[in-house]
Each structure stands twice: as C-alpha cells, then as structure tokens.
Amino acid sequence: MIQTTVEDPTKEYTSGSYPNQEQPYPGLQSRMTPIPNCGEDTYKGSGKLLGRKALITGGDSGIARAAAIAYAREGADVAINYLPYEQSDAEEVKKLIEDAGRKALLIPGDLSDEAFCEQMVDQANQELGGLDILALVAGVQHAYKSITDIPTTFLHKIFAVNVFSLYWTVKAALPYLPKGASIITTSSVQAYSPSPDLLAYSPTKSAIVAFTKGLAKQLISQGIRVNSVAPGPIWTPLQVCGGQLPGQIPNFGQSVPFKRAGQPAELAGVYVLLASNESSYITGQIYGITGGLPIA
C-alpha cells in the first residue's frame, strides 16, 4: 500500500507572489507564468465515474480543465466547451482525456448565444452517447475601479455568460438527463463577500447560488441533484485577462487565511465528489474552496 504524506496546506503549490502579467481576453493558460496546476501530473483516478458522460463548460483551462482531467481519469467520457481563441489549450485537454482512455469531444462556441447552448448540449449528448453530468464552470470576470467605469454592454455580456447560459444549458439538457444525473454550477466567494472592484462579477455569482438552490428543489423529484462549487482566489486565466485591477497580480490570493492563491487542481476532487454516487444524499449545497474565507 502506498503511504500518503501529510503536508502543510499553506505551503503547497505556489505560495509566493506572481509575476505581474496581463493578456487580452479570453487569454491562454499556456501563456501564464506560472502555468496553473490543473492536476495534469498528479490526479489519479479510482473509477468513481466509470461509464459516465460529462459536459464541462470552460474546459480548456483553469478549474474546468482540472475537472475535465479528473473526470476522464475517473472513467468518464468528456465534452468540453471553450471559445475558439482557446483552441490550443483545448487541444491539450483533449489529449489528456484521450490519454486516460476516454472519449474527448471539443465544442467551441460562445455561451452568451442561446442557440449555441442548445446546439452544444445536443452535440454532446449525441456524440458521447448520453449525458449525465453537467459541470457549468465557464465565466467572465473583469475588475473595474468604479461603478461608473462599467459599460452596459459588459453587464449584458457577463450576465449572459455567467447566468443566462445556465438556464439555456440546463433547459436543453433536461430531456437527456437520467435519474441520478448531477448538475454542478460554479459560484464564488464573491457571492458572499463581494470585492468593490468586482461589482459586475459578484452579483452574477449571487444569482448562481440562488439558481442552484432553487433548481435543486425543483429537480430532486426527477432524481437529479444540483450543487455548486464556490472558489476563492484561484490562479486561472480569468485573473490575467482583466479579472484583477492593474498591479494586483503579484499579491493575488495573499489576503486569505492561507496567504496564497489556490490552484485549479485543488478543486478537482470536489467536482468529482458532486458528480459521483458518493454524493447521493447531497443537493442544493454550496461547497466553498476559498483558502479559509467564509461563505456564510
């Protein structure tokens, strides 16, 4: 039997500062310094999702990439959605899924388009031969110093991607989802303790919390569970594409009790738990992975 080591969680992964950097939206994980750790070299599966069929939005990078890798190594076939600009990152994930011996499906497109959300779900169901996990992770984030700086066009965009796409995707998927299916949304600590510079972003995450809790009550009669993961400061492309105000990247994540940002790999296990039968008595819950920040 392999013995596991006990590590100080405040010292794991990247505990220092980050080089100041920025990219145009939506950015590429492969161009970040350091590249986020999504469990490519560390996640080991144990068959918890054998034979399952998952659709993951935002699966080219960050948290969703970590979930895609974990799902594949747990035995699921995986479809990932992403923007066309992110194709190179998505191709890396495709190879990782296939290296795990599972089917990988790439579906590029813009979640702010209702028709695309419907087409994405139909394609995933048809080409995977079913659908029983929705991991809705993709999101838009942009920091603004003042409410007067937030363009109305951006408000329409961020609510369309972060909130409306959940409605469109779930509505399209419901005819395909069997009893025992799992829907996992991605909210944020920002829903509970909003930063002043994320005034456009945090209300969308509050909406996701309410969406999750209400949908869970609605769908449990159909045998479908709905839960959410609420990350704190996690090192992903969102942060370097306008998600932080200029100059904030070097100290990103150091204000939480852990004194460091989280890595996407640290969320993968919870996405697996909520997708698997191990969470058979869990619905309507919000799982905070925040480096010690409270979500209540």
User: For residue 17, what pLDDT is reported?
Assistant: 85
170 pLDDT exceeds 70? yes
> Which residue(s) pair with 81 in the sheet?
57, 107
| Pairwise CA distance, residues 201 & 50, whole Å | 35
Domain boundaries, the chain: 30-288
**pLDDT digit string, tens, across residues 208-235:** 999 999 999 999 999 999 999 999 999 9
**pLDDT digit string, tens, across residues 78-88:** 999 999 999 99
What is the CB-side half-sphere exposure of residue 201 using CA atoms within 13 A? 25
Give how far the C-alpha of residue 295 lies from the chain's centroid of Cα atoms, to the nearest Å.
Answer: 17
| Pairwise CA distance, residues 253 & 139, whole Å | 19
3-state secondary structure of 81: strand
Q: Is 201 part of the annotated catalytic residue set?
A: yes
As a whole-number percent, the residues of the chain with pLDDT over 90 amount to 94
**Which CATH number is 30-288's, of 3.40.47.10, 3.30.465.10, 3.40.50.720, 3.40.50.2000?**
3.40.50.720
Give the full edge-to-edge strand order of the sheet including 225-231. 104-108, 77-82, 53-57, 133-136, 182-186, 225-231, 286-289
Q: How does residue 7 score in pLDDT terms, banded at 50, 70 and 90? A: confident
- Indicate which residue of 13, 144, 176, 201 is catalytic: 201
**pLDDT digit string, tens, across residues 173-196:** 999 999 999 999 999 999 999 999
- The CA angle 258-264-269, to the nearest 5 degrees, is 95
| Pairwise CA distance, residues 200 & 190, whole Å | 11
Q: How many CB atoms lie within 10 A of CB 146?
A: 9
Q: How does residue 1 score in pLDDT terms, banded at 50, 70 and 90? A: low
As a whole-number percent, the residues of the chain with pLDDT over 70 amount to 99
Residue at 240: amino acid letter: V
Mean pLDDT of all residues in 67-72: 98
Q: Which residues contact 294 (CB under 8 A, 6 or more apart)?
A: 192, 193, 288
Mean pLDDT of all residues in 12-36: 90
**pLDDT digit string, tens, across residues 70-115:** 999 999 999 999 999 999 999 999 999 999 999 999 999 999 999 9
Q: How does residue 15 score in pLDDT terms, banded at 50, 70 and 90? A: low
Nearest residue to 88 via CA among 30, 138, 37, 35? 30
